[in-house]
Structure 1
């Protein structure tokens, strides 16, 4: 079943939508539509999937404490994030190869995100050029960057993002290598016509060495991965805000602050890189405590409900990112699906705020949690 992309100037919300009432409905509908190999790529987790499962389970353990008879006459979800005035605290995290899931790929995602007034972080590994995505949307776009072994190529990516009007750089640092058995079992490979177009012309770095008896990674892939000095170098090359994505350790958050980054994204990469990591929401309070409000802290991983967003903000997050859920919506209904899924999530957030007596997000803190987790040890 396919859904048309909106014509220029057409509101995707006016298009026909399937019977999807929450993000779980979109996931079920997407599972029916997406080819098995592409689904394996999207759903795959590292190892036994423990980290991936922990992301969801950690939110389920947190409970909210309702409050009654609160004045909600001036309620709003608006926030200010690094000087950006946002209508709500929900951003679309970088995900590679959107054209695996919808023929219009990132163009449809960007259109839907703009309608929902949600910033979209466009992946280095997008299947549509960063310039084409910018041309398709008047919404706010951030550019997710993987530092490449060829620094000249990296700088060129940065300059392209600046020239196209991207508002911030999200530097992902937690995924230099990974093994995802599910997608390997499925024999996943990119189909014809889908590629990381922004990396065209770049010589691929080696990921694995020889066969059994030789080191699978050491001496091949790892000598080419970014270092802290590269973060400082990137900081010197642009005036755009830089957020470091993939931080779980407080010491890394402190080092990032010292290197001049403008924000931290607490993330375990959706459980796709290393198994047995803590859930992102479990790591969040220690990062918040370490940074003491000096730079914003975002979190992703496992968010499926508006109540999850409220819980994250109660534990100190300034905003949140979602990944797989909006891809599910994209696969089901293109731009219309993305816009609708974000609308549903925002509606759930507003209900949660109203029923916990919080008219604005700056009034959200640990007191909305029933039996909250103990604060981090000093």
Structure 2
């Protein structure tokens, strides 16, 4: 199996939902929500890609970083790479349903584990979607992170109990899912959370809790205040609000404010190991990958996902060699022009 074959197969299986464009930049699929595009004009999706692409790298080759170390530790677990699978659901209405939710969840969990890393699983308009992800994590011996949509408090607490029973590594909430069109269409109420509501949720579990959907310094501070164990800088792939900044545009400011107190993870427009290097240079500790892994799963299942992640990790390692970074900790703003 190679990535060319994976992409060809995915193009057939995703027909009518994703064009598997040569460059996944949100232009061809603007406004296609449900679907794979960005909301409205698609500006937020496009900004993710464009802002990341605007950063250039300083090439350095007079150094001793000949065999860089890409390993990363998250919540005590050693990973081969700082590249993780993002939480995703909605295979029928977003991707056409060639994979059902159970097949998708098992592919992302097993593919990530084979590549030496972790996947997150998602929550969606059908509550069974969340359970499919948790079930797949159980098969992966708890090595995965389920994310819960910002549902009503009682529902969130029920979903938390399910995660605890499954003995997962950590749990999260994609607060950026507040107001999701796909949830609204299916009668599943979601919305913003107050500080008090987040404190109630986080204090009710002993699991490390990740808040995904942080796009400002003030909300990063709130996340720390309410007890988040990590944050994800994310605009939900540009799928919830038109005309937000790209995540690469605001990442360094947020990372500087957090100042190492908790891990800062980021997603949005990351398509290669070089993109991963840029995000780490801007202050991220790790990254989440979404659309590229959808294509890989539809084109090659768990094996396709593992191949994509190993390819990106090898690209990251090569980029580290050519920028003089022997470890992830050595990647900083000096890498960027």
Q: TM-score under structure 1 normalisation?
A: 0.77
* Alignment check: 8 A CA contact 2:66 2:321 kept: no
Out of 228, 236, 240, the position equivalent to 1:273 is 240
Mapped to 2, the partners of 1:239 and 1:44 lie a distance apart of 36
Distance 1:28 1:57, change over 3 A: farther
Runs of 4+ in structure 1 displaced over 3 angstroms?
A: 25-29, 37-42
Tell me which moved more, 171-180 or 352-361.
Answer: 171-180
Q: Structure 1: which 5+ residue stretches go unaligned? A: 1-16, 181-188, 191-203, 207-220, 371-378
Matches within 5 A, 1:1-378: 17=1, 19-20=2-3, 26=6, 29-37=9-17, 41-72=34-65, 75-98=68-91, 100-103=97-100, 104-125=103-124, 126=129, 129-138=132-141, 140-149=143-152, 151-179=153-181, 204-205=187-188, 225-370=192-337
Mapped to 2, the partners of 1:205 and 1:20 lie a distance apart of 37
Tell me how far 1:164 sits from its aligned partner.
0.8
Which protein is bigger by CA-based radius of gyration? 1
Tell me how far 1:134 sits from its aligned partner.
2.4
Q: Structure 2: which 5+ residue stretches go unaligned? A: 20-31
Residue equivalent to 2:26: none
* Alignment check: 8 A CA contact 1:307 1:348 kept: yes
Mapped to 1, the partners of 2:154 and 2:219 lie a distance apart of 26
Which protein, 1 or 2, shows the higher relative CO under an 8 Å CA cutoff with sep ≥ 6? 1
3-state DSSP of counterpart to 1:298: strand
Mapped to 1, the partners of 2:59 and 2:318 lie a distance apart of 11
Distance 1:50 1:130, change over 3 A: closer
* Alignment check: 8 A CA contact 2:145 2:170 kept: yes
Tell me how far 1:38 sits from its aligned partner.
7.3
3-state DSSP of counterpart to 1:240: coil
Mapped to 1, the partners of 2:293 and 2:57 lie a distance apart of 25
Tell me how far 1:261 sits from its aligned partner.
0.9
* Alignment check: 8 A CA contact 1:97 1:127 kept: no
Quote the RMSD (CA, aligned, Å): 2.3
Mapped to 2, the partners of 1:138 and 1:59 lie a distance apart of 35
* Alignment check: 8 A CA contact 1:288 1:317 kept: yes
Q: TM-score under structure 2 normalisation?
A: 0.85
